[in-house]
Structure 1
Amino acid sequence: MATNGLPITGKRCITYGTFDLFHEGHQKLLQRARELGSHLIVAITSDSFDAARGKLNVRQPLMERIEGVQNSGLADQIIIEEYQGQKVHDISKYKIDIFAIGSDWTGSFDYLANHCEVVYLERTAGVSSTQLRGELRLGIVGCGRIAQRFVQEAKFVSGVRVEAVYSRLLSSATEFASRSGILHIFESIEELLDTVDAVYIASPHLTHVPHVTAALMSGKHVLCEKPLCFTRQEAETLYKLASEQGVVLLEAIKTAFLPGFRQMVAVAQSGDIGKICSISATCTMLRSPTGREYDAEQAGGSITELASYPLLAIVKLLGHGAIDSVSSKSIRHSETGIDILSRIDILTDGAMATGTVALGAKAEGDLVIAGTKGYIYVPAPWWIMTSFQLRFEDATKYRNFSTLMEGDGLRYELAEFIKMISEGRSESSDLTTKESCAIAWCIERVRSECQTIGVQ
């Protein structure tokens, strides 16, 4: 049975971790695990296992991480975790009585209770960023679905620690923090900004600009959910402010940072399919009419919720400065007036593109990039791309590509954000400032000039 645990003598205990840049938090966790029994085994993840499970930004090689644990003097034995499912085998092999892990994983390893006692150890509170060597203190603004997923994904990115949360509803922030193991809860964004080094903004769309502005003015790095804003002028103003403040601002369109999308863009630009003539990208997700996505006063609708994905592919492949015209047509919800399905048409010099987005209709969410020599086909859901196919007139020349992607993709945008900060970069090649501003301009044009062709 899983438990909070009390000191037990004569027991064999095991714990697992990456233990990158061994710090005080690791030390205290091992001390607590050591107190549970008379023999402590520490399993450290191998470099290959970290890569395979999507653990990103691990800074030290395995031998250095082993040395850090050895120097703590708390491990009776050190073993290497090399594959998924090894924990069950280790428990049997080493005759383990207690499996111990940090409380930020509460519930994740309850399945091991069939093999031994499972103990979730409270992590160290109040450890500063100087004590946590190289770790960035990150605050969360907003407590919605994506913020909940983000906190779980952040566990797989080294160099960052989620420390605090702010929501305009204190009750929501309190519940979110309790569920996510977050230490600090704030009733104002100003209080949160005084505590952290950077923020992830996942608040409602219309609050993005004021929240990003406040964070940048406080000298904090910002990772903001898409859409960053709804006009090009707003986007340019925010990026200029970030530059003046000497901090990172990155729009969190997760697809841009996925290994599969990066590879697909490289293949498309290699010339293998010739000159790109057209792009067709579809992204549909059914949402309840009672949710925020259907609330016009909160900027709900298919365009605001989903257009960033097809626009990313179009801008990335055709160029941020190549777009000549943007138009759109929508079918709207009879009660709320929001667009439940929209088609965006874009023309450039010598190419055309179509993006279809929907909250109230379902279609095949694929991506097709047509060229003068062949085309690229990405199956649904293309925005979490793990594979694609290069196709030609001669079917015997088809080529398949696949890449590893763990989780739902949020860890990759966070990893790039952390790398930008640690490397002193103000821009990401995965999503440049100009590309982000071009996407904002397209959304601006679509929202202001959209033609309604029906009501459902």
Structure 2
Amino acid sequence: MRVITYGTFDLFHEGHRRLLERAKALGDYLIVGVTTDNYDSSRGKLNVSQSLMERVRNVTDCGLVDEVVIEEYEGQKIHDIQRLGVDIFAIGSDWAGRFDYLRDYCQVVYLDRTKGVSSTLLRQENQGILSIGVAGSGRIAARFVAEARYVSGVSVEAVWSRTPEHAAEFASRFELERSCASYDELLTRVRAVYIAGPHGTHYDLVARALAAGVHVLCEKPLTLSAAQATELYAQAEEAGLVLVEAVKTAFSPGFQHLIAIARSGSIGDIRSVDATFTKLIRGGRETEAPDGGSLSELASYPLLAAVKILGTGFTQVRTRSYRPAGSEVELFSQVDLDYPNAVAIARTGIGVKSEGHLVISGTEGYIYVPAPWWLTEYFEARFEDPSRNRKYFYKFEGDGLRYELADFAALIRDGRTASFKYPPQESIAIAGILETARASAEIFGAAAGQGSLDG
């Protein structure tokens, strides 16, 4: 029986070896496809650190493989299976269902993730592997684990949740090494933690992780207070640890190029940034006091656009918010930022739907980014003379969480503590805007007489 499997095999470790052992046991001849750098890039695989030849050597040196092929393009698996007379296609169970189409050509086997390959063993085998724990077991945590498989050099090993049965189910569903009974236990098992709990828990969870010597990637908003954000970044800096607020847009290739073009002077001096992000949410923690509302849920994105383009030197923050009778939180807000020579408008809504575009206006032209601009794949630079107009296209892979994770892992690997893509001073500035906006918003709607959003 001829068996084939595929992978990047970057930073070859014991988990790779055990996967190949199990594939080899399915037949008597094992073929391994190793992906090229270009193909990895085209399918959204990030942070591959070894060359193709090094990765091929990783595979051949393990002594389990009878033949190696190079995977160069989408659809090659079908051709390889037919050309090489393959009987069984084997792949890790984290790809379950993804390759069912190959059943028309051979048997497809999804191999369960090898449990018991501890993060300690991975670190001993290769210092390039970053073991990660997940604090939280909701939807965003699930998306994170799914996205992590596209980032080379990381391994999600454990999960903790305030509801133990949820953590156990999560660990089983994603074949993690363990679910932890406490957050403190989680912190002893990993080198880094991804925090995906409710907004109000972020400050405490981040501070405890940093005190334990663990790097932190925390979902937005990092905090709802500038003072708390400042304190956390100072704590990380003092400990020599990486702390990153996970605003995925900031790390995506299209948005990075957008900022560079906007600030290059190509549309003249920028006078206005107008950004909107709305999504309809009918219930859940996003609609509950004290930490819910459209500002805390969504404003990090439009405020990111304002701060990245106009900077942190705003002089005034003014907010109007809609809160209907019976609602604990505001459902729509507009934040106006005044700068010495420009203005920014950030609109958010969880009970009001609007066009989610981004417009950057300059003295020579403007940049238009259609909805959903925060998943930046396409934008246009437009001018008075339409012959000067330009269109730009970029890839935004998956849910986008792979970009923030790749940058986070690269910072740790390279011994740096802050990223130019989203430095601490910008994160702190946005926390301050959120704090001011929520505390001083002018309320309109049926709840207009109830004061600020803080009650």
Instruction: Determine if the TM-score, normalized by the shorter chain, exceeds 0.5.
Output: yes
Query: How far apart are 1:50 and its partner, in Å?
Result: 0.5
- Residues 187 and 333 (structure 1 numbering): CA distance in 2 closer, same or farther, change over 3 Å? farther
**Letter of the 2:152 counterpart:** S
TM-score by length of 2: 0.95
Residue 303 (structure 1) aligned with residue 295 (structure 2): yes
Equivalent of 2:226, from 204, 228, 232? 232
Map 1:335-414 to 2 at 5 A. 335-414=326-405
Cα distance change, pair 95–442 in 1 and its aligned pair in 2 (3 A):
same
Inter-partner Cα distance in structure 1 for 2:165 and 2:101: 31
Letter in 2 for 1:110: D
Matched, 1:113 2:113: no
2:305 is matched with which residue: 294, 302, 313?
313
C-alpha separation in 2, matches of 1:123 and 1:408: 23
How much does 1:29 deviate?
1.1
Give the partner amino acid of 1:314: A
2:315 aligned counterpart, secondary structure: strand
Q: CA deviation at 1:110?
A: 2.9
Q: Which residue of 2 aligns with 1:62?
A: 52
Report if the CA contact (8 A) 1:296-1:336 is conserved: no
The answer (yes or no) to whether the contact 2:14–2:117 under 8 Å persists in 1 is no
What's the counterpart of residue 15 of structure 1? 5
Q: Post-superposition shift, 1:154? A: 0.4
**Residue 329 of structure 1 aligns with which residue?**
320
Write the letter of the residue equivalent to 1:292. R
Structure 1 residue 436 and structure 2 residue 427: aligned?
A: yes
Contact 2:133 2:156 in 1 (8 A): yes
CA distance in 2, matches of 1:374, 1:89: 49
Residue 181 (structure 2) aligns with: 187
Query: What secondary structure does 1:339 align onto?
Result: coil
Distance (whole Å) between structure 2 residues aligned to residue 283 and residue 438 of structure 1: 19
Partner of 1:141: 135
Deviation at 1:334, TM superposition (A): 2.7
Partners of 1:85 and 1:407 lie apart in 2 by: 19
Q: Does 1:81 align with 2:71?
A: yes
Deviation at 1:93, TM superposition (A): 2.3
Does the CA-based 8 Å contact 1:137-1:162 persist in structure 2? yes
- Please show how residues 278-289 of structure 1 align to structure 2 within 5 Å: 278-288=272-282
CA change 1:345–1:89 in 2 (3 A) is same
In structure 2, relative to structure 1, the CA distance for the partners of 1:12 and 1:354 (3 Å cut) is same
TM-aligned CA deviation for residue 133 of structure 1: 4.0
In the alignment, structure 1 residue 218 sits paired with structure 2 residue 212: yes
1:36 to 19, 26, 33: 26
- Counterpart of 1:101 in structure 2 is 91
Q: What displacement does 1:227 show?
A: 0.1
Report if the CA contact (8 A) 1:100-1:119 is conserved: yes
**What code does the residue aligned with 1:387 have?**
Y
- Corresponding letter in the other structure for 2:41: A
> Residue type matched to 2:309 in 1?
L
Q: Which one is further off, 68-77 or 271-280?
A: 68-77
Say if 2:203 is the partner of 1:209: yes
Question: Within 2, Cα distance between the matches of 1:22 and 1:192?
Answer: 25
CA–CA distance in 2 between the matches of 1:112 and 1:452?
A: 57
User: How far does residue 34 in structure 1 lie from its aligned partner after superposition?
Assistant: 0.8
Q: CA deviation at 1:53?
A: 1.1
Q: Give the distance between the partners of 1:90 and 1:120, measured in 2 at CA.
A: 18
Find the aligned partners of 2:174 and 2:318 in 1 and give their Cα distance. 42
Distance 1:333 1:235 in 2: 31
C-alpha displacement of 1:434: 0.5
Task: Indicate if the aligned counterparts of 1:23 and 1:133 stay in contact, CA closer than 8 A.
Answer: no
Partner of 1:252: 246
Whether 1:175 aligns to 2:169 is yes
Q: Unaligned regions of 5+ residues in structure 2, if any?
A: 448-455
Task: Deviation per CA, 1:386-407: give whole Å up to 9, x if none.
Answer: 1111110011110111112211
Compute the displacement of 1:132 (Å): 4.2
**Counterpart pick for 1:162 among 148, 156, 175:** 156
Give SS of 1:353's match: strand
Q: Partners in 1 of 2:161 and 2:103 — Cα distance?
A: 35
Which blocks of at least 5 consecutive residues in structure 1 are unaligned? 1-10
Runs of 4+ in 1 over 6 A off after TM superposition: none
1:333, 1:78 → 2: CA distance?
63
State the secondary structure of the residue aligned to 1:376: strand
Deviations, residues 191-211 of structure 1 (Å, cap 9, x unaligned): 000100000000000000000
Q: TM-score if structure 1 supplies the norm length?
A: 0.95
Aligned to 1:454: 445
What is the alpha-carbon distance in structure 2 between the residues aligned to residue 101 and residue 40 of structure 1?
12
Q: What secondary structure sits across from 1:383 in the alignment? A: coil
Secondary structure at the aligned position of 2:165 is classed as: helix
CA offset at residue 26 of structure 1?
Answer: 1.3
Q: Does the CA contact (< 8 Å) of 2:15 and 2:117 recur in 1?
A: no
**Deviation sequence 1:346-368 (CA, Å, 0-9, x none):** 10101011011111121111100
Decide whether the 8 Å contact of 2:368 with 2:381 is kept in 1.
yes
Which SS does the other structure have where 1:382 is aligned?
coil
Give the match for residue 292 of structure 1: 285
- Aligned pair in 2 of structure 1 residues 333, 14: CA closer, same or farther (>3 Å)? farther
**1:365-423 Cα deviation digits (max 9, x unpaired):** 11000001111111110001011111100111101111122112100000000011111
Q: CA RMSD in A?
A: 1.2
SS of 1:349's partner is coil
